Every structure is written in structure tokens, then in C-alpha cells.
């Protein structure tokens, strides 16, 4: 059954349309997790701690790609909804080529300063070499990583959501196979994990680039373009929330690592790393859904189809709420199994990680609706509201909680910080839904 963004969506159609994007994000999250599994089990928990310490800095560079992908996706889908196909192609092309240039500049900067930054993040002498090795290799691959994340959203706008899932599968298999070859067979250690990830990102970034630059049967194509200042500013405004989310996520992770090194040492960083890997998969479901449904929302907003906008909003709230409850239950029941995959070889670390996972998992009850709220306003081309929700959720509230709750609750306060932040943010999201409905009429 072929489903397009201009269709009238039932629950079945909405689920079917977004499933490829959800699977794409789950698969992408899983193959990102593979590095941690192989490094922890075959290189050691010291290298695993180093990986988790430097990763937030690397992910921060990807924020620009997330911004152009989500912000550009909303703008391009809106243009298609308005019947402006040529303009959509030109804006899409401009953003992709800008991304390549910025990615190269970021890579040069990152490689130049990776060592002092690792020291600043708290790397001990034993961790420093692994941090620099892993970070340098992945930073060199930044242009490919940024293309990969950006194309994940644009393939949906292009009417090819299954293509995104297929690319994620190919990239994931590449990473997992090379992890085994480089780490287990070749004994390259943490460098092998970095090479495996970098090559998989190359696959995920270059293949769609070649597809869109050639003649294709999708709704988008890379073409010659003229610099469009207004479109670029609008893209950055629309996508600022996702960029803020990515940067804030990295900064908060750094703050978590500082607190964990203070209270628990490298073991705490390892436990938090496990939480993040598990969270990538669970949050990937919400992110995948928003990637899948955002172009539909943008299209109907551009086409001024208020009835369909109301339909999408209602169904999305219900689907995300049900999924949040189910995911929280699954996370609580599978905490031991999931933690054992990473640190089953160390009982003390395992016990700490299981407790941390169970406390942190409570946040899934609230995070899905907050993620949807931010993405929903991005899709409506309201970057200011979207950015406010993201900044409040991922930086302001979490930063406050991670500092205050450990003083009150001790170690448990660290793991519960995100729960408190998500609850408070949900209250703000609901208020913003109510206030902005007067303008958009989505319920």
C-alpha cells in the first residue's frame, strides 16, 4: 500500500507511514550501541569509560546536521505542499552542500583540539590515549556523519521512508561486522571500534548523496541552486530546537560525567554510558515517529488543511502516550538483561547499572510527549516555541536537577535528575499546546 504525505491518515496509515522511520532510528541506535558492547566486553571497562567520556563532545558537532535536517525538512515539505517543487529542490540542495563544507571545517577544528578537550572533560592519564584515538577517528568522519543524520529526515520528505530504513540496515550491518573484525579478530582495540563506526557513517552518508545527485523517482533531487538567505535563516530557526537538543544533550552528558567522576569515579561513567545506550534505542522510537510524521504535519500546514492537522495531532498524542507506558514497562522488566549485555562481567558495576537503569526508565513516561511537542512546532515552522521546549527540557531543567537532586537524594538523585526534568517540561509543553492552538487550530 503506497502512502503519501497528502493522504488522509487513519491510525493504521499513520503507523505504516512512520514505521520505516522508527525502524531506521532503532537500527541506527542499535548499531551505535554495538561499539559500546564490543569495547566493554573485548577491550575493557577502562576503554568503555573513555569512549563514553569523549562521545558527548563528538555528538555536539553533529548538532548542525540535525538543525539543517529537521529545519530544512519542515521548510521543504511546506514548499512541496504549496506546489513549489523547484524551490523545494533548490533549498534542499543548498542545505546539503553547506552541510558538507561545515562538516569539513568542524573536522579540522575537532582534530586540532581533541587532546586538550579530553583533558578538560576529566580524562585521567589512563583514559587520555583512548579518548584521543577514538575521538580523532570519528571527528575525521564528521562530514559523513552529518550527511547521514540529515538524509534520515530528507528521505521521508522525498517520499522514500523505506530507503532510510534500508540505509540504516546497511550501515548497521557494516558497523557490526567491522566491529567484530577490527576489535575481535584484528585486536585494534578502541581504534577498531572508531574505524568501524566511521566507515558505517560513510556508507550512510555517501549512498543517499549519490542517489539524490543522480536522476531519481523521488520528490527531491540535488540541483544547481542560488544562495537563498531567507530560506537558510528560516531553516536555522526551524531547526534550532533540534540543534539545541543535540548541544544540550552533549553538555548535560558532560555535566553528568563530572558529577559521576566526583561521586563514583570511572564506574559511574560506565553505568551512565549503559543508560545512554539503552536510552538511544528507546528514545529512537519517539524520534523515529517524529521524523516520520513531521513532513505530513508540515505538508498539511502548508496546504492549510486544518481538519487533517487536528487528526494528526490527536492520533499522535494517543500513539505516543500508549508507547510511553509500554516502553517504561519493558525497560523496567529488562533492566538486568540489558545491563548484563554491557557489564555482566563485573557484579558491582552490574548492580549499580541495573538500579540506575530502573530509576532513569521512569522518564520514558514523559519524554515521548516532550519530544513530540518540540518536533510538532518545528513541523509547523515555529522554531521559537520548539527551541524553547528543547532548551528547557534538555539543558535548563536537567542541569538544575543534576546539581540539586544528588545533594538531596545522594547517588539516586543523579539517576532521577532526568525524571524530574521531564515531568516539569511536560507541564510547560501542555501549556504551550493550549496557548498556540488559538493560532494553528490543531485540536
**Per-position pLDDT tens, the chain of length 443:** 577 777 888 999 999 989 988 987 887 777 668 888 899 899 988 888 888 889 888 888 878 877 888 788 878 888 887 888 888 889 999 999 999 999 999 999 999 999 999 998 888 898 899 999 999 999 999 999 999 888 888 888 888 878 887 888 898 899 999 999 999 999 999 999 999 999 999 999 999 999 999 888 888 899 888 898 888 998 888 777 667 777 877 888 888 888 888 888 888 888 898 998 889 888 989 999 998 899 899 889 988 899 999 999 999 999 999 999 999 999 999 999 999 999 888 899 899 999 999 999 999 999 999 999 999 998 998 888 988 998 898 889 999 999 999 999 988 999 999 999 999 999 999 999 999 999 999 98
pLDDT at 280: 84
pLDDT at 431: 97
Kindly state the DSSP code that residue 124 receives in the 8-state scheme. -
pLDDT at 251: 85
Residue ranges in 62-124 assigned as alpha helix (H): 63-81, 85-120
The CA distance from 59 to 269, in Å, is: 17
Kindly state the DSSP code that residue 7 receives in the 8-state scheme. S
pLDDT at 260: 87
User: Which residues fall within 8 angstroms of residue 331, CB to CB, at 6 or more apart?
Assistant: 278, 282, 338, 357, 358, 361, 364
Return left, alpha or beta for 223; rule: phi > 0 is left, psi -120 to 50 is alpha, else beta.
Answer: beta
Biggest CA pair distance of the chain: 61
State pTM to two decimals. 0.76
Question: How many other C-beta atoms are found inside a 10 Å radius of the C-beta of residue 366?
Answer: 23
Report helix angle 161-179 to 189-213, nearest 10.
150
pLDDT at 234: 86
Residue 202 C-alpha cell reads as 560513510
User: Which residues fall within 8 angstroms of residue 364, CB to CB, at 6 or more apart?
Assistant: 282, 324, 327, 328, 331
Query: Radius of gyration (Cα) for the chain, nearest Å?
Result: 21
pLDDT at 1: 58
Amino acid at each position: 500500500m503506497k502512502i503519501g504525505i497528502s493522504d488522509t491518515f487513519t491510525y493504521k496509515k499513520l503507523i505504516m507511514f512512520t514505521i520505516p522511520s522508527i525502524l531506521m532510528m532503532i537500527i541506527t541506535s542499535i548499531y551505535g550501541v554495538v561499539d559500546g558492547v564490543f569495547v566493554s566486553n573485548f577491550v575493557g571497562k577502562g576503554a568503555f569509560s573513555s569512549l563514553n567520556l569523549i562521545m558527548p563532545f563528538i555528538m555536539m558537532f553533529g548538532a548542525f546536521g540535525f538543525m539543517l535536517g529537521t529545519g530544512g525538512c519542515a521548510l521543504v515539505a511546506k514548499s512541496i505542499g504549496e506546489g513549489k517543487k523547484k524551490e523545494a529542490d533548490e533549498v534542499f540542495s543548498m542545505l546539503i552542500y553547506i552541510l558538507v563544507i561545515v562538516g569539513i571545517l568542524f573536522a579540522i577544528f575537532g582534530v586540532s583540539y581533541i587532546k586538550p578537550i579530553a583533558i578538560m572533560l576529566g580524562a585521567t592519564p589512563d583514559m587520555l590515549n583512548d579518548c584521543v584515538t577514538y575521538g580523532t577517528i570519528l571527528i575525521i568522519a564528521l562530514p559523513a556523519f552529518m550527511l547521514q543524520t540529515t538524509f534520515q529526515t530528507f528521505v521521508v520528505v522525498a517520499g522514500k521512508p523505506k530507503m532510510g530504513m534500508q540505509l540504516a540496515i546497511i550501515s548497521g550491518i557494516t558497523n557490526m561486522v567491522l566491529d567484530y573484525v577490527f576489535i575481535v579478530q584484528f585486536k585494534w582495540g578502541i581504534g577498531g571500534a572508531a574505524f568501524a563506526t566511521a566507515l558505517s557513517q560513510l556508507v550512510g552518508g555517501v549512498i543517499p548523496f549519490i542517489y539524490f545527485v543522480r536522476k531519481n523517482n523521488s520528490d527531491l533531487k540535488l540541483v544547481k541552486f542560488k544562495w537563498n538567505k531567507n530560506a537558510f535563516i528560516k531553516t536555522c530557526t526551524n531547526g534550532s530546537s533540534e540543534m539545541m537538543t543535540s548541544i544540550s544533550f552533549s553538555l548535560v552528558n558532560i555535566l553528568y560525567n563530572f558529577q559521576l567522576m566526583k561521586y563514583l569515579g570511572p564506574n559511574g561513567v560506565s553505568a551512565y554510558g549503559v543508560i545512554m545506550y539503552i536510552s538511544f534505542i528507546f528514545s529512537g522510537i519517539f524520534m523515529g515517529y517524529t521524523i516520520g510524521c513531521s513532513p505530513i504535519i508540515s505538508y498539511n500546514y502548508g496546504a492549510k488543511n486544518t481538519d487533517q492537522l487536528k487528526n494528526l495531532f490527536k492520533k499522535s498524542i494517543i500513539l505516543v502516550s500508549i508507547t510511553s507506558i509500554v516502553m517504561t514497562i519493558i525497560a523496567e522488566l529488562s533492566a538486568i538483561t540489558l545491563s548484563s549485555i554491557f557489564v555482566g562481567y563485573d557484579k558491582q558495576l552490574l548492580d549499580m547499572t541495573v538500579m540506575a537503569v530502573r530509576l532513569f526508565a521512569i522518564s520514558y513516561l514523559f519524554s515521548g510527549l516532550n519530544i513530540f511537542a518540540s518536533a510538532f512546532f518545528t513541523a509547523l515552522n515555529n522554531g521559537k516555541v520548539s527551541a524553547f521546549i528543547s532548551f528547557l527540557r534538555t539543558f535548563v531543567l536537567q542541569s538544575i536537577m543534576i546539581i540539586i537532586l544528588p545533594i538531596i537524594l545522594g547517588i539516586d538523585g543523579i539517576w532521577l535528575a532526568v525524571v524530574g526534568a521531564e515531568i516539569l517540561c511536560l507541564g510547560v509543553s501542555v501549556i504551550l499546546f493550549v496557548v498556540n492552538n488559538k493560532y494553528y487550530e490543531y485540536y
